[in-house]
Structure 1
Amino acid sequence: MDRTLLWIAAVTGLGYALAWSKAPSDALDAARSSVAMLGQSLPWIVVSMFLAGLVSQWLQPEMVARWLGREAGLFGMVLGALIGMLGTGSRFAVYPLAVSLLAADASPGAVVAFTTSWQLTSLARLPAEFPFFGMPFALVRFAISFVISVAGGVLFEWLWRILSHFR
């Protein structure tokens, strides 16, 4: 089992124990809320894992490496950010897909650009911003978010290469 998961589980258990000692009803309410969130999220998690498994079988590592791999350089990060813009799914779908891209030889920087762009930009959400912020504001925010996604991928790739020498 993953050590990080064990630590988070221990801290969570300690938090519930402390909450129970102070106000048992609060701890019960928190547990009920957690179970409700799990019930709401579990179907998404299960379907997303199966989808990610299917996509990982469809991804051809040679193609992913060519378009999103280290050899693709800046182009791969821009392409990763463009693909992220199209994403409208939940994190339960996007993160397994990102892991599948890594497993198929996408560069870490392209995957960071993909996930960052998915979080910051969305072509599907953009029209919803227009009535609230106005078109110029929304388009400038969108463009800056896209540039940040690519820059984040470039910075991550650079740092990842440096840190990989120490592992």
Structure 2
Amino acid sequence: MEKTLIYLGGATLIAYLALALIRPGVAADGLESSLEMLLQSTPWIVVSMFTAGLISELVDPALVARLFGAESGILGIFIAAVLGAFGTGSRWAMYPLAAGLLAANATPGAVFAFMTSWQLVSVTRLPAELPFLGMRFTVYRTVISILMAFIGGMLFDIVWAKFPPRN
């Protein structure tokens, strides 16, 4: 992870330097925009990290392993896909939560299903969708999205087992 961060940071720095020589105004505007985004997102990132740390201490890893671990099988992936639809946090909250689930021995497929369902469904967006797309479309899209997250989670576990990470 550190090498990737160093490479991306180096590439970004080189891009800024090159752009500063070619189009200094664009480089300055990009830097200003980046700093504004940093200032806007920093409080969210800090609060989310503290929340994720607290959750990781409050949630029993044995419960996570039982619900979403290897022993839970496809039922664990399905439960994760359904629960992901109820995720209401921002990416700054959900990604640390997903990392916490992995650290508590949830299968990668269950975490994939949780994250995918959160991205595709999120029940907090459904009231905004209903007036524009109607009940039938919203229900079909929600059910199919959860099924896609579930199937994707099963496929993810298969691929993960076939090509395990190299440490």
TM class by smaller structure: over 0.9
Q: Which residue of 2 aligns with 1:130?
A: 130
The alpha carbon displacement at 1:106 in A equals: 0.7
Q: Which runs of 4+ in 1 moved over 4 A?
A: none
Give the TM-score taking structure 2 as reference length: 0.96
| AA in 1 matched with 2:139 | L
User: Structure 1 CA distance, aligned partners of 2:84 and 2:92?
Assistant: 14
Q: How many Å apart are 1:6 and its aligned residue?
A: 0.7
- Please name the residue that 1:117 is paired with: 117
SS in 1 for 2:124: coil
Alignment of 1:55-94 (within 5 A): 55-94=55-94
C-alpha RMSD of the superposition: 1.4
1:71-105 deviations in Å (ceiling 9; x for gaps): 10111111111221111111110000001111111
Once the two structures are superposed, what CA deviation does each residue of 1:91-147 show, in whole Å capped at 9, x if it has no partner?
A: 110000001111111111100001111100111111211111111112111111111
Corresponding residue number in structure 2 for 1:161: 161
- In the alignment, the residues of structure 2 paired with residue 91 and residue 161 of structure 1 have an alpha-carbon distance, to the nearest angstrom, of 27
**Corresponding residue SS for 1:86:** coil
Q: 1:160 to 1:135 in 2, by over 3 A?
A: same
1:152 alignment counterpart: 152
Please state whether the residue corresponding to 2:123 is helix, strand or coil. coil
Unaligned runs of 5+ in 2: none
- Measured after TM superposition, the shift of residue 165 of structure 1 is 8.4
Q: For 2:13, give the aligned amino acid.
A: G
Matched residues, percent identical?
49
Secondary structure (helix, strand or coil) at the match of 1:39 reads helix
Measure, in 1, the Cα distance between the counterparts of 2:109 and 2:148. Answer: 12
Give me the TM-score of the superposition, normalised by structure 1. Answer: 0.96
Deviations 1:41-92 (A, max 9, x none): 0000000000010011112111111111011011111111122111111111
Provide the residue aligned with 2:141 in structure 1.
Answer: 141
Aligned length: 167
Query: 1:95 is matched by which residue type in structure 2?
Result: Y
Q: Which runs of 5+ in 1 are unaligned?
A: none
